[in-house]
Amino acid sequence: MTSVVRPGRDARPARRVAAAGRHGLRGTLTDEARELSVDGRPIIDLGLGDPAAHGIPAPPSVLTALHERIDDARGYSDAAGHLTARTAVAEHFRTRLALPRITPSDVRLGNGVSELALLTLQALLDPGDEVLVPDPGYPMWAAYTSLCAGSVVPYPCPEANGWRPDLDSLSRLAGPRTRALVVINPVNPTGAVWPPETLDGLVAVARRHGLVLFSDEIYDGIRFVPDPHVPLAALAPDLLCLTFGGLSKLSRLPGLRAGWVVASHPPGVGRAYLAAVASLAALRLGPNSVGQYAIPAALSAPALRDAAALTEPGGALHQSRSAAHTAIDRQPGLRCAPQDGTFYAFPRLDLPPGTTTNEFARRLLREKSVLAMPGQQFGSHSDLSTYLRLTTLAPPTQTTSAIERIGDLLAELWTDHTGRSEATARPKRS
């Protein structure tokens, strides 16, 4: 008997992709928002963290550098990235981030942190190897761990603990299969900035269990507190630490897909692993060449001063954050302290029983034309279903209007829930 071949019959997606998809951020909500926009509905987007999309300009010197080098950028770059760009990153780490031993050969460039995170996890993990990831945290790290057939071990960072990890319970989560500890600082989505004592504690756990540190510091310059950023690597000179950063956030150039990973380690430590990273990087030939030409200009002193001004009073990031928190404080059902870093607020919503921010975010988009991210997208902790992540990048009037609509929807849900008017069901708005 001849078997009938049906086209597409075998196109079943890999199981590990489905596992990774559970942690996805650009889910159906973002797609729906885009469709509504295309249909002409004005949407206030407090969803994705893209400063360029909110009209925050990049320094003209960086754009000039890009325009001038566009012809040079036609060819493949080295797999590790252009030497001039790697030199600029190494210099940045040596002079501004107090890591005096970093050289260009410790720096690898890629198409954003997103590509480098996958590449470096792929080079590390065998099936079943465990990775400790912050919960809540940026879901890419859990997604990629799953994609590499690794096992995600979330470490809770509850609001009751200032969105910081409980170091004792973290230590108990590490076992014989644990290979790496992911740290995100400042933290997306909570906006927390972890202090040096917390970082020291994390390093001690990694030291005790022989873990590789993966430190995602893409928001390192976006801080609203006076103390300077402390790179995790500076506290872990005896460990292999990979520090991730790039041009997507403070430099306002996410479309360039320009990121770096810097490996710091005592001499000889991690040699075989870093060689594996290099061979994987060579397989994809090299990162996008154009974006690399922006790196020296973006890390120059004037561009960094220009970027720092955004977080100071009067700067766009400062203003949007202030507007968000003033508006949040006016809504009786929302509660959140201003974030110390990043451009995200993570308020807790006083939702009627049985409602989660998953449903809330969908109704918010459909009924109030506001896109915001439900807390469940950032971790597995059940409590997260009452939080909403709001990007504080939009102009203050838009941010304020979006948060008022959140308050309105909340009031409507309570009215539906109790069958009474908001006036009797809920405290009055001040």
In this chain, which of 47, 51, 165, 246 binds ligand PLP, going by CB under 6 A? Answer: 246
Q: Are 93 and 227 in contact (CB under 8 A)?
A: no
Q: Which stretch binds ligand PLP (CB under 6 A): 58-66, 70-78, 93-101, 112-120?
A: 112-120
Cis status of the peptide bond prior to 427, with omega within 30 of 0: no
Residue 220 sits in the site that holds ligand PLP (CB under 6 A): no
Report the relative pairing of strands 178-184 and 212-216 from DSSP bridges.
Answer: parallel
Nearer to ligand PLP, 109 or 236 (CB): 109
112 vs 407, beta carbon nearer ligand PLP: 112
Stretch that binds ligand PLP, among 90-98, 109-117, 326-334, 360-368 (CB under 6 A): 109-117
What is each CA distance from 353 to 1, 51, 58, 333, 375, in whole angstroms?
Answer: 59, 35, 44, 13, 16
Q: Quick one: 114 or 377, whose CB is closer to ligand PLP?
A: 114
The smaller minimum CB distance to ligand PLP, of residues 111 and 401, is found at 111
CB of 258 to ligand PLP, least distance (A): 8
**Binding segment toward ligand PLP, per CB under 6 A, in 108-116, 201-209, 312-320, 368-376:** 108-116
Report if residue 184 touches ligand PLP, rule: CB under 6 A.
yes
Candidates 9-17, 153-161, 246-254, 288-296 — which segment interacts with ligand PLP by CB under 6 A? 246-254
Enumerate residues 29-58 that contact ligand PLP by CB under 6 A.
49
Per-residue string for binding with ligand PLP, 248-267, x by CB under 6 A? x-----x----x--------
How many angstroms separate the CA atoms of 373 and 378, rounded? 9
Indicate the residue among 124 and 351 with the shorter CB distance to ligand PLP.
Answer: 124
Smallest gap, in angstroms, from Cβ of residue 254 to ligand PLP?
A: 5
Instruction: Tell the smallest beta-carbon distance from residue 216 to ligand PLP (Å).
Output: 5
- Please tell me whether residue 62 binds ligand PLP under the rule CB under 6 A: no
Q: Is 145 in the site for ligand PLP (CB under 6 A)?
A: no
- Please name which of 377, 330, 329 lies closest in space to residue 356, comparing C-alpha atoms: 377
Closest contact distance (angstroms) between CB of 278 and ligand PLP is 20
- Closest distance between ligand PLP and the C-beta of residue 245, in Å? 8
Q: Is residue 114 within the footprint of ligand PLP (CB under 6 A)? A: yes
Task: Give me the 124-143 binding string for ligand PLP, x by CB under 6 A, dash otherwise.
Answer: --------------x-x---
Rounded to the nearest whole angstrom, what is the least distance from the CB of residue 49 to ligand PLP in the complex?
A: 5
- Candidate list 135, 159, 216, 422; residue touching ligand PLP; CB under 6 A: 216
Q: Which residues bind ligand PLP (CB under 6 A)?
A: 49, 112-114, 138, 140, 184, 188, 216, 218, 246, 248, 254, 259
